[in-house]
Every structure is written in structure tokens, then in C-alpha cells.
Amino acid sequence: MFVDKIVYRSTPTSLTDLFACSIGAISNKLFSLRYSLLCQPVETGTSPREIQILDIVWTYYLSKIIDVMDTVFIILRKKYSQLSLLHIYHHAGMILLSWVGVNYVPGGQSLLLGVINCFIHVVMYGYYLLTLVDKRYTSSWWKKHITQLQMVSIMIILDHIQSLYHNFEYVWPDPRTRHYPLVYTPIPFIIIAIFLLFTYYMGPKYMRGRQPYRLEKIAIVYNVMQMILNGYLFITGIRLIYWPLRHSLLCQPVETGTSPREIQILDGVWLYYLIKMIDVIDSVFIILRKKYSQLSLLHIYHHAGMILVSWIGIKYVPGGQGVLMGVINCFVHVVMYGYYLLTLVDKRYTSSWWKKHITQLQMLQFITICVHHLMATVMNCGYPRFLSILLVLGTSLLIYLFAIFYFHAYIEPEKQKKKS
């Protein structure tokens, strides 16, 4: 019945849609105050009122897609100064947020966000309409107060989001990992911030006017340590999960038990998270040796992203569909750090032949991970579909960046060599 309602609904204009969204949501929610203004769970029933709420949430999602017409009008009218980062970020972000809302949490605490946003858009589109009818209304006085109204709405929404923080911190995390170090702290975000600050500013500034450091001995110890840690995790993952095959290679939910084997898997996921933080030492060595050409967008995005991904893994989904990513990644890192170790011991191994095949191995790794999580987006794996979608998007970007690197590093020089 709900699907029929959606199919036969005529497509609304943006202003009409938002107005209906505002009125419907306010009448259903606030006037009768059936929801708590402080902390409200998502209702999961099928009463006529709850179906109406689902319709409203879906309509709101549709309106966010229609909103991008603003950008089309701006470009067609050559008003490029209005295409700010704020404008683009807002439109793209609201489509993603409303899609998450209608798919996973259609109602509850987030509904106030939609109600306030709809009211603001009624005022805003009303102002745009007035400026088209009468140019006298284009004065900055109106714009100023509409901007103030938007800022007030954002402050109200931010205050309302406190329950979302509660869910992130106390409801959604896996209770089995609460006692693990560096999981329930802001440490990973601090490390990412320091990593970016050191990579882009503090490190190059410190090395300005200094000779490159010779770090061969320290680097040898570091590479041996990385090979041991990654090799241990790879062997442990194979032993606990894939030999014999206890996990589905296609679609695997997160195990939630406390058997010795499941606790060992948790330990492995935590150690993997720790290794991803240790990995940033690579960048320190690069800067202290003044090998700035190695500090590519690919390098920085990969290191920062892996810290965040592994933290999400240990805190929210320690196991399941995400384990294969870790096992493959550990194997690739054993090979990669083994190559680095060989280049430090014997310079003959620095040829591009080795580098080329390691790059191919890395690309194969990300393609496998991408395909593996694509399966979780189309199948009911008992693994958060939203996380799989984010991993598919993130690994797709890595594949693209690696492909660009591979072309410039190996294919293009080969073509130049043939021409000459």
C-alpha cells in the first residue's frame, strides 16, 4: 500500500513539496506533540499515522533531489559566484542524509531536522519567488535575515543531534570492544589531524634548510616489525576464519558471541586498527628523508582513510563482511614491507619491475574489496549496508588514484621509450 502511494503521487514542484512536507510533519508531530523534543526513537509500526510519517520522509528525500535544480539554474544563468563550496556541499550532503534517513531511520529524532529545514525552505523559496516577481525585494536586508534564520536553524538542529551522539557512543557500538584501548576515545581523529598537519605543514617547515636524515637502520627495524605484525594477522585470519572456511566469502554477518574463537577475532581486528595508526610512520620517514615526491594525494588519503575505517571496524562492526578486507590487506603489506626491506639491504631491488607488480597487487586488492562489499549492498548480509556503500565509494576512489599513478609511473614511460 505504501509503495502504491509513492508510485501514483504526482511529482511536486520544490516549493509545493516543501510546503506540504512542513505542514504534514508539523500537524502529525508537533501540534499534538506525540514526539519527545529531546530524545525520540524511530517508530516501527504500520498505523495510518506512521505510514503518513514514512510518506513525509520519502517526500522530503525527493525534495532534496529536486533541490539540485537550483544549481542547474545558476549555471544556465552564468551566476558562477553563487557556486560556492557551501552551496555544493550542502546540496550533495542533504541528498545523502535524506537517503540514509528514508532507508534506515525514517522518523524519530531526525524528524525535527526535516521540519525546521522545510520551514526555512518555504521562507527561502518564497523570497526567491518575490525577487522574480518584483526586483525591489533583491535587497541585502532580506538576504541577511534569511541567512540569520538558516544559522539559527542549524544551531537548533545541532542541539537536537545530541541523541545521535548518544547512539554513536552507547547504542550502536559493539559492547564487546568497550574495554579495548584507543577505541572509546577521540585518539584516532587526533592522530589523523596531527598526521595531516605534520605532512602538509609542520614536517616540511622543520626540514626547510636541513639535510635529509639517514634513517636506514630505523627503517629496517620498522619494516621487519610491520612484516611480523601483518604476517601474524594474515596467518591468524586464515586460521580462525578461512581454514577451514567458517565465513561466507560472499555475504557474512558480524558474529556477536563471546566464544574463544570470536574473542580472538576481536583481538585481531583491534591489532589491525593499531597497525593502521603505526602506518603513518611511513610519512614521517618520507618527510625526514625529504622524499616529498612520494607524498601524493593517494598516499595521504590512504593512510588517513585506513585509520578511520579500522576505527569504525573495531568499534561498530568487529568482524563479518569487513574481515576479508583486513586479511587481504595484511598479506599485501607483508609483500610491500618485504620489498621496502630488500631495497634498504640491497639497492639492486629498487628496480621498477618489483614496484610495478606490487602496484598491480595493491590494485587487485582494492578491486576484490570493492566487489566483496558490493555484494553486501545488494544482499541482506546482516552487515550494515550503509558501511558497505561507503567502503565501495572509498575503494573506488583508491582504484582510480592507483590507476592514475600506474599510468604515469609505468605505461606512459613505456610509451615514451617505444617512441624514442
Please, which contacts does 152-158 make with residues 24 or more away whose CB atoms are closer than 8 Å? 153/116, 153/117, 153/119, 153/120, 156/112, 156/116, 157/112, 157/113, 157/116, 157/117
Buried b vs exposed e over 44-68: b needs ≥16 C-beta within 10 Å? Answer: eeeeeebeebbbbbbbbbbbbeebe
Greatest mean pLDDT among 97-106, 125-134, 313-322, 376-385: 313-322
Asked whether the beta carbons of 252 and 383 are under 8 A apart, the reply is: yes
Question: What is the predicted pLDDT for the residue at 3?
Answer: 36
Q: In angstroms, rounded to a whole number, what is the distance separating the alpha carbons of residues 395 and 381?
A: 20
* Domain membership flag for residue 80: no
* Domain membership flag for residue 250: yes
* Domain membership flag for residue 2: no
Confidence of residue 78 (pLDDT cuts 50, 70, 90): confident
Question: What is the predicted pLDDT for the residue at 247?
Answer: 86
Domain containing 24 equals 14-43
* Domain membership flag for residue 58: no
* Domain membership flag for residue 261: yes
338 pLDDT higher than 50: yes
* CA 135 centroid distance within chain: 43
Question: What is the predicted pLDDT for the residue at 305?
Answer: 92
Confidence of residue 62 (pLDDT cuts 50, 70, 90): very high
Mean pLDDT, to the nearest integer, of 74-91?
82
Question: What is the predicted pLDDT for the residue at 36?
Answer: 66
Question: What is the predicted pLDDT for the residue at 6?
Answer: 33
Asked whether the beta carbons of 395 and 266 are under 8 A apart, the reply is: no
Greatest mean pLDDT among 57-71, 73-87, 212-226: 212-226
Of 43-57, 80-94, 364-378, the poorest mean pLDDT is in 80-94
Question: What is the predicted pLDDT for the residue at 194?
Answer: 93
Give catalytic residues, as residue numbers: 302
Q: List strand residue ranges (DSSP E) for 201-305, in order.
A: none
Q: Reduced to 3 states, what is the DSSP secondary structure of residue 86?
A: helix
Q: In angstroms, rounded to a whole number, what is the distance separating the alpha carbons of residues 241 and 49?
A: 46
More confident residue, 38 or 310: 310
- Residues of the chain above pLDDT 70, percent: 86
- Residues of the chain above pLDDT 90, percent: 36
Q: In angstroms, rounded to a whole number, what is the distance separating the alpha carbons of residues 138 and 144?
A: 11
81 pLDDT higher than 50: yes
Asked whether the beta carbons of 275 and 230 are under 8 A apart, the reply is: yes
159 pLDDT higher than 80: no
Confidence of residue 149 (pLDDT cuts 50, 70, 90): confident
Q: Work out the mean pLDDT of the chain and round it to a whole number.
A: 83
More confident residue, 6 or 91: 91
Mean pLDDT, to the nearest integer, of 3-32?
44
Greatest mean pLDDT among 9-18, 34-43, 300-309: 300-309
28 pLDDT higher than 80: no
Q: Which of 363, 359, 366 is nearest to 395 (CA)?
A: 366
Question: What is the predicted pLDDT for the residue at 155?
Answer: 67
* Domain membership flag for residue 110: no
Q: In angstroms, rounded to a whole number, what is the distance separating the alpha carbons of residues 154 and 93?
A: 14
Q: Which of 388, 252, 228 is nearest to 323 (CA)?
A: 252
CA distances from 396 to 21, 31, 393 (A): 35, 46, 5
* Domain membership flag for residue 121: no
Q: 3-class secondary structure for 228-240?
A: HHHHHHHHHHHHH
19 pLDDT higher than 60: no
* Domain membership flag for residue 8: no
Same domain, 181 and 37: no
Confidence of residue 8 (pLDDT cuts 50, 70, 90): very low
Question: What is the predicted pLDDT for the residue at 160?
Answer: 55
Of 2-16, 122-136, 284-298, the poorest mean pLDDT is in 2-16
Question: What is the predicted pLDDT for the residue at 172?
Answer: 83
More confident residue, 323 or 386: 323
13 pLDDT higher than 60: no
Confidence of residue 268 (pLDDT cuts 50, 70, 90): very high
List, for residues 194-203, the tens digit of each pLDDT value.
999 999 999 9
Buried b vs exposed e over 250-284: b needs ≥16 C-beta within 10 Å? Answer: ebbbbbeeeeeebeebbbbbbbbbbbbbebbebbe
Question: What is the predicted pLDDT for the residue at 24?
Answer: 53
Confidence of residue 107 (pLDDT cuts 50, 70, 90): confident
Q: How many domains does the chain have?
A: 2
Asked whether the beta carbons of 273 and 182 are under 8 A apart, the reply is: yes
Question: What is the predicted pLDDT for the residue at 2?
Answer: 34
